[in-house]
């Protein structure tokens, strides 16, 4: 895939990304198909994302040479699969600039990831709320101030920002 970035204007630090669509399409074998005489266009990524050749080849290599459970077996294949899995976690850590590889969590799909984040925030919020209630001195007053702040800052019923949660507003139920 070829991506070239160039500034929008000489004074602007913002970049505009241009994609070479044909080179991107060439990475995806399935997109070589024609449907009703026209190139296949696949837009249903919520259900199934199409895989580029590199991913298809990596999956094939895994099934042909390493297929085993990670973090569970004590035999060669399992240990090798675990090493490869953790190596990918390290690559993702560097790519995302995470402080530690344990910050990288792999999930099967978007829904599982969103549910994991929502559950984690809800759990952290319960812990925060308990801590606020258990303060002997100004716990109640602090909680009231915190609730007032929450009402002021949540101007959009369906908007959730990182700052909202960093300020301690983690007990909100995400639906």
The gap from C-alpha 24 to its chain's centroid, in whole angstroms, comes to 22
82: in domain: yes
**R_g over Cα of the chain:** 23
Say how far apart CA 94 and CA 123 lie, in whole Å.
28
* Total residues found in the chain within this entry: 175
151: in domain: no
40 in the same domain as 30 = yes
Last residue in a domain, options 44, 65, 86: 65
How many domains does one find in the chain?
A: 3
For the chain, the three-class secondary structure string (H helix, E strand, C coil) is CCEEEEECCCCCCCEEEEECHHHHHHCCHHHHCEECCEECCCCCCCCCCCCCHHHHHHHHHHHHHCCCCCCCCCCHHHHHHHHHHHHHHHHHHHHHCCCCHHHCCCCCCHHHHHHHHHHHHHHHHHHHHHHHHHCCCCHHHHHHHHHHHHHHHCCCCCCCCHHHHHCCCCCCCCC
Q: pLDDT tens digit string along 34-79?
A: 999 999 998 877 778 899 999 999 999 999 999 999 998 899 999 9
The mean pLDDT value of the chain amounts to 75
Write out the residue range of the structural domain in which residue 100 sits.
67-106
143: in domain: no
> What mean pLDDT comes out for the span 125-131?
62
102 in the same domain as 115 = no
Q: In this predicted structure, what is the pLDDT of residue 113?
A: 87
Given a cut of 80, whether residue 26 has pLDDT beyond it is yes
Per the model's pLDDT, the better-predicted residue between 44 and 175 turns out to be 44
Given a cut of 80, whether residue 172 has pLDDT beyond it is no
115 in the same domain as 55 = no
9: in domain: yes
Question: Which among 152, 145, 142, 143 is positioned nearest to 171, based on CA atoms?
Answer: 143
Burial category of 84 from C-beta neighbours within 10 Å (exposed 0-12, middle 13-18, buried 19 and up):
middle
Threshold 0.75, pTM exceeds? no
115 in the same domain as 57 = no
């Amino acid at each position: 895939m070829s991506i070239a970035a160039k500034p929008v204007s000489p004074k602007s630090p913002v970049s505009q990304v241009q994609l070479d669509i044909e080179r991107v399409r060439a990475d995806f074998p399935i997109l070589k198909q024609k449907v009703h005489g026209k190139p296949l266009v696949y837009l249903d990524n919520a259900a199934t994302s199409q895989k580029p050749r590199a991913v298809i080849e990596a999956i094939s290599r895994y099934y042909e040479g390493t297929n085993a459970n990670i973090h569970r077996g004590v035999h060669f294949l399992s240990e090798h699969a675990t090493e490869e899995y953790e190596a990918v976690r390290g690559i993702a850590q560097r790519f995302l600039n995470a402080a530690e590889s344990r910050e990288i969590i792999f999930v099967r799909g978007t829904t599982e990831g969103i549910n994991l984040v929502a559950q984690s925030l809800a759990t952290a919020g319960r812990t925060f709320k308990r801590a606020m209630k258990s303060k002997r001195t100004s716990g109640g007053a602090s909680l009231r101030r915190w609730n007032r702040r929450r009402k002021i800052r949540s101007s959009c019923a369906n908007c959730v920002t990182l700052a909202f949660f960093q300020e301690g507003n983690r007990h909100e139920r995400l639906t």
